[in-house]
Amino acid sequence: MDAKTYPVTRTDAEWRALLTPEQYQVMRNHGTERPGSCALLYEKRAGTFTCAGCDQPLFESKLKFESGTGWPSFNDPVEGSVENTVDRSYGMVRTECHCARCGSHLGHVFPDGPPPTGLRYCINGVALNFEPAA
């Protein structure tokens, strides 16, 4: 993980106890879930997508769109909730996004999304929880 200290920190044992093995692989080891494998890909209700590691609100459902990629995609995160870093893994340069509160890997952001931002936050569904609007 990054050397940066985040507001929510846990030991490796605490992360393993909190997360499922798949969540741990994605969120703490920068893994990727299989496309189309997460139920949140199909979530269409009004509400908020939060970090599975610390419950920080990350994305509002009104900014979710169908990208055809197999992962939940959003135009823009909740302000201040996501930070980006350069990811040079797998022989390419991408922009990784992670939770600003706990540092957990969420996915990547690409410049090929719809207006108004033109961004596509391509997020691993296992890194998210969903809270329906009241």
Question: 42: which residues sit within 8 A by CB, 6+ positions away?
Answer: none
The string of pLDDT tens digits covering residues 14-45 is 999 999 999 999 999 999 999 999 999 999 99
66: closest CA among 58, 75, 57? 75
Predicted local confidence at residue 2, as pLDDT:
52
Q: Is 67 left (phi over 0), alpha (psi -120 to 50) or beta?
A: alpha
Q: In which band, very low, low, confident or very high, does the pLDDT at 92 lie, cut at 50, 70 and 90?
A: confident
Are 41 and 71 contacting, i.e. CB atoms less than 8 angstroms apart?
yes
100-129 mean pLDDT: 96
122 tagged catalytic: yes
83-102 mean pLDDT: 91
Q: Which two tokens stand for residue 101?
A: 């509160």
Predicted local confidence at residue 87, as pLDDT:
84
Q: In which band, very low, low, confident or very high, does the pLDDT at 49 lie, cut at 50, 70 and 90?
A: very high
Q: How far is CA 64 from CA 3, 75, 110, 119, in A?
A: 31, 7, 14, 11
DSSP code of 76?
Answer: -
How far is it, in rounded angstroms, from Cα 54 to Cα 65? 24
Q: In which band, very low, low, confident or very high, does the pLDDT at 9 lie, cut at 50, 70 and 90?
A: very high
pTM over 0.95: no
Are 121 and 112 contacting, i.e. CB atoms less than 8 angstroms apart?
no
The catalytically annotated residue of 51, 99, 102, 122 is 122
Mean residue pLDDT of the chain comes to: 94
